[in-house]
Amino acid sequence: MKKANSRPPIKKGVLGRVIKMLFSFYPVLVPLTALCILFSAIVSSSPSLFQQQIIEIIQAYTESGDWQTAAEKIVPLLIVLISLYLLSLISMFTYTQLMAYITQGFLSKMRCAMFDKMQNLPIKYFDTHKHGDIMSIYTNDIDTLRQLVSQTLPTLIQSGAIVLVVMSIMIYFCGWLTLVVLLGVIAMFIVSKKVGGGASKYFVRNQKSLGRVEGYVQETMNGQKVVKVFNHEAECEEEFNKLNEQLFEDGYRANAYANTLGPVIGNIGNILYVLTAMIGGILLVLNAPNFSLSGDPLRISVVIPFLGMTRQFTGNVNSLSQQFNTLVMALAGADRIFTLMDEEPETDDGYVMLVNANIDENGNITESKERTGKWAWKHPHGDGTTTYTALAGDVRMFDVDFSYDGKKQVLTDVSVYAEPGQKVAFVGATGAGKTTITNLINRFYDIADGKIRYDGININKIKKADLRASLGIVLQDTNLFTDTVIGNIRYGKLDATDEECIEAAKLAGADDFITRLPEGYNTMLTNNGANLSQGQRQLIAIARAAVANPPVMILDEATSSIDTRTEAIVSRGMDKLMEGRTVFVIAHRLSTVMNSDVIMVLDHGKIIERGSHEKLIEQKGTYYQLYTGAFELE
């Protein structure tokens, strides 16, 4: 059994994937930036070579007192060194500017890629993941990538290059002293692994805890009215405190480990510096062999620059170890980002398309590139032929079974027949499967067994975008976007004119209250239309569906949030809206479904009664008892 406090795993290859994406986005700029960083690193490692030569020149000419000759030999070295530093300065400026551009561009492209992927995810993903946790990926996890690209990777390249170059120079200068430094570095790595491993574990946990906290905050904000109505503030605060305490614990432990690592590694470096000086002095006194690649004996001109290289070497090893925690946290964030991007997209194997059509008096259909106001299904066949079927709105379900999780059956052997222009109503208790039926018609979910046909075509063969374009939906939960009132109505048909949007609002009965808003149709709505009543928001949603002018309408509790007086106004508009259309109505108020052509009563995913209002009343079954108030829908 996995322990609760075990380290959440990070998938292999995450860092490689980040780097690969960097190169794919900027195939020229990324290598150029890396070269600038490497050049700067190499130049910063070279002063010890010049220092060693300058010391030897000074030693050689001290006895003779020929300072002019010494100066003639030293000045060219200084000129070369200054020139290299100037080039390094230019290189550093170039790579810092390039990194700023690459970092922000990379984050922008990643956010676009994430959003594009999110748009292609099935509804099931959003039903099973907290929205606040998803938002945390766009904010916190993306920010860890910013640190990775702008700070961690450049530091790893720069410090890594300095370590390698300085180590090479050390080996060239003196084998004994290099061995002392290597022993110190081994001690540093042992400490880094011990302390850094603990920090990385908690940094990964910290990312996940942060996502849970943000998810809970957003959930509580969305349900703030419910919280206040039921006086649930104390319980919410208690639950938040638990999540926040876990976040504190993970963050504290992660930073406690990380903050310990720097001073420990730094002090090991200080001790190593002292040891190098002592051992170097002893070797000089004993005139010990040098064991260097240069073959020169150990001299003071080697020991002095070697001490500088030791400081530089240990400092960069410390810098590398400090980046380890940032790297782990960034990989944890990148892992969550790639988990989102690797989610299975909504599959669409459809090939039947909805096209503009011309239909002559004989019923012959031809495709049109211009908007004609008439539509047809373009159905290509395997033999190369193509047939066209007029969009009529004939929707039929045959023996449909469905389960959301593959375990609990939600619909069992459901058959529905809706001819063009018919109004079909579903009634039943909450959880009976009414909304599920409309979700299947939209193909928000796919059925487990049975068939659904639209104008005689299996809906699995129809492209989802085209299928949904032919359906108008008014949901129980209204979603309005940050836009003007007319912009929200136009959401149903993006190329609709202002006149069409206003006509749709009049049809829905929304024109009266809209014209009384401060700026009428140009009034800005924010926070899901918080400045409107629930009924007004629902009227705008109905107008949005009306402007799309679809042949099939799905009204899922469309009037549930509207008072009786407003409902009468809306009903008149809805009756006009429903003329000539196939309409599916889900309602708790039986008064809204009495004029339906067919009423279906569902119970635990099965249709137990079907017929007109009069016929069902005559049967004196479940519908009759609902209508007479013998028992409630709930």
pLDDT at residue 564 greater than cutoff 90 = no
- Strand order of the sheet with strand 375-380? 365-367, 353-359, 375-380, 386-390
| Cα gap 185→312, rounded to integer Å | 12
Please give the CATH architecture assigned to the domain spanning 14-23+100-341.
Answer: Up-down Bundle (1.20)
Higher pLDDT, residue 486 or 61: 486
Residues 175 and 186: beta-carbon distance below 8 Å: no
pTM of the model: 0.71
pLDDT at residue 28 greater than cutoff 90 = yes
Residue 361: Cβ within 10 Å count: 5
Query: What is the DSSP secondary structure assignment for residue 149, as one 8-state letter?
Result: I
Q: What is the mean pLDDT of residues 309-318?
A: 81
65 pLDDT band (50/70/90 cuts)?
low
3-state helix, strand, coil in the chain (%, to 5): 60, 15, 25
- Residue 112 burial (C-beta neighbours within 10 Å; 0-12, 13-18, 19+): exposed
DSSP-based three-state secondary structure for 612: coil
2 pLDDT band (50/70/90 cuts)?
very low
| pLDDT for 317 | 81
- CA-angle at 172, arms to 166 and 174, nearest 5°: 95
| Cα gap 247→209, rounded to integer Å | 5
Residues 145-170 pLDDT 10s: 888 898 888 988 888 888 888 888 88
| Cα gap 213→37, rounded to integer Å | 38
pLDDT at residue 1 greater than cutoff 50 = no
Mark residue 135 as left, alpha or beta (left: phi above 0; alpha: psi -120 to 50; beta: remaining): alpha
| pLDDT for 197 | 60
Give the fold, CATH level 3, of 395-628: Rossmann fold (3.40.50)
| Cα gap 536→503, rounded to integer Å | 16
Higher pLDDT, residue 413 or 298: 413
How high is the mean pLDDT of the chain? 81
395 pLDDT band (50/70/90 cuts)?
very high
DSSP H helices, 67-137, are: 67-119, 123-128, 131-136
- Strand order of the sheet with strand 606-611? 471-474, 552-556, 582-586, 423-428, 598-603, 606-611
Higher pLDDT, residue 272 or 379: 379
Outline which parts of the chain fall under CATH 3.40.50.300. 395-628
Outline which parts of the chain fall under CATH 1.20.1560.10. 14-23+100-341
Q: Could you tell me how many helices (H) and strands (E) the chain has, helices first?
A: 21, 16
Residues 252-307 pLDDT 10s: 777 777 677 667 777 777 788 888 888 877 777 777 666 665 556 677 777 777 78
Phi then psi for 45, rounded to 5 degrees? -95, -10
